[in-house]
Amino acid sequence: MSPFELTVQHLAGDAVQLQMRGSLDLAYAYRFDEALRRVERDGADPLVIDLSRVEFLDSTGISRLVAARRRARRAGRRLVLVRGPVAIQRLFQIVALEECFEFVPDVSTFEVGHA
């Protein structure tokens, strides 16, 4: 499994993308959360979280994503997830969260103005 990596990239307008690689699990979920909160404080809208290179996601990682969704809704901001590999998307189905998030196939299909 790949080591955890997190990159932040500014897109058009105030949009920001967080891209992860490796495992979003107990060992790295709070590192992810700290980076996410910094981006939120900077006013990122929309916020794109790219799961396409995530190899493993556990309940701690899912809870960080659910918390990010909750904060985005409260702040009136858009949160978009780039689909992960089949196993990651299957996990969203199993825990009945697939309908709770806005997913796009990849960051190139993401539209800043689309709500």
Q: Is residue 108 in a domain? A: no
Q: Is residue 95 in a domain? A: yes
Residue 110 clears pLDDT 80, i.e. is over it? no
Q: Is residue 36 in a domain? A: yes
Q: Is residue 91 in a domain? A: yes
Domain of 62 in residue numbering reads as 5-103
Q: Is residue 54 in a domain? A: yes
Q: Is residue 112 in a domain? A: no
- For 29, 40, 80, the CA distances from 112, given in Å and listed in that order, are 26, 16, 10
pLDDT of residue 112: 58
In three-state form (DSSP H/G/I as H, E/B as E, the rest C), the secondary structure along the chain is CCCCEEEEEECCCCCEEEEEEEEECCCCHHHHHHHHHHHHHCCCCCEEEEEEEEEEECHHHHHHHHHHHHHHHHHCCCEEEECCCHHHHHHHHHCCCHHHCEEECCHHHCCCCCC
Q: Is residue 113 in a domain? A: no
Residue 115 clears pLDDT 60, i.e. is over it? no
**Rounded Cα gap, residues 5 and 53, in angstroms:** 10
Give the CATH number, domain containing residue 91. 3.30.750.24
In the chain, how many domains are there?
1
pLDDT tens-digit map of 47-93: 999 999 999 999 999 999 999 999 999 999 999 999 999 999 999 99
